[in-house]
Structure 1
Amino acid sequence: MTNAPTVSLALDDQLCFKLYAASRAVTRAYKPMLDQLGLTYPQYVAMLVLWEWHATKPAQPTVKALGERLMLDSGTLTPLLKRLEQLGLVRRQRSAMDEREVHLGLSEAGARLHDEAHSLKTRLLCDSGVDLNQADALRKGLDQLLAQIKGLSSWAPTGPARH
């Protein structure tokens, strides 16, 4: 006999559902701000990384590095970046040294959008009534959760399934 924990399959007991519901609620709360910026949520998080990199001046960020940072594959990231480029916010340029590598940069408009995004995000936080200490503790807890479950992507149950 194993000492396996007792688990519930009730929806309200599922961490994955709570994370899913919270993610959708946060994305919905951001929507009015994102509409003012003219961005979707995935475009916004890509811009967050590009603004961060622009401020810290790393050497020629690449599409690959952005994909790793956002945990997105190139099939998802390429159309997103193409749209940001069409909006005049991002520049993409193939490396002269290695054609497989595409470098990223902010356009002037993309850099200017940072200030507007910062102002709107500050207003959103103030209007939401979210306790910043609780939000920080939750973010740290989610960082720990992500670190713990990263190896589960290759997880497969052992033995036959029980019906």
Structure 2
Amino acid sequence: MSVVVSIICVLGSRDGEHDVRSQRVLLALALATTVGLATGCTQQPDNTAAAAQSGAASSAAAPSPTVDVKANTEAVCTAVKAVYEAEEEALLPVVGELAAASVSGDKAAQAKAQAKGEVILGRISKAVDAELAKAVDPAVKTAIANYAATIAKMLRAEKFGDPSFDAEIDKVNTEVEQYCPGMSK
């Protein structure tokens, strides 16, 4: 955590200059920090449980009536949160490197940080996919998959400095919070 605070202080105080690009980088750092600070998945909205139980989803995708959808969702969310927490120590410095390289325009440093990020993403993806396979609610699977894909975009630096990424972050955070409260905090 102190790494992120240090990076934010360095990037935020560049001779008093606060340009839009720096603000976007700081936003990306904040998103990465939220991954490590997620507080857990503890509840599912009633409308999702009702829709799943009423057969609103197709019969092939509908959870079995013997499966406790809420408990399953909690278990999957908790496991996915644990995946990100386990990678936090490796993840945050890479995001810091990407941010610094993006602000400075150093393409070589950015490529090096991206390569490190890809290794971490591989581990995260494998573990998250295994947990998603256990989820019985298709909406939960979609929300978590979208969240993971957005984190991956950030680590690949595809969206550093892109104003449209703010809206994308907000959308996936809102979506995942419906099923996994605290995941994006």
TM-score, normalised by the number of residues in structure 2: 0.26
Given the two structures, how large is their TM-score scaled by the length of structure 1? 0.29
Q: Bigger radius of gyration, 1 or 2?
A: 1
Higher relative contact order (CA 8 A, sep 6+): 2
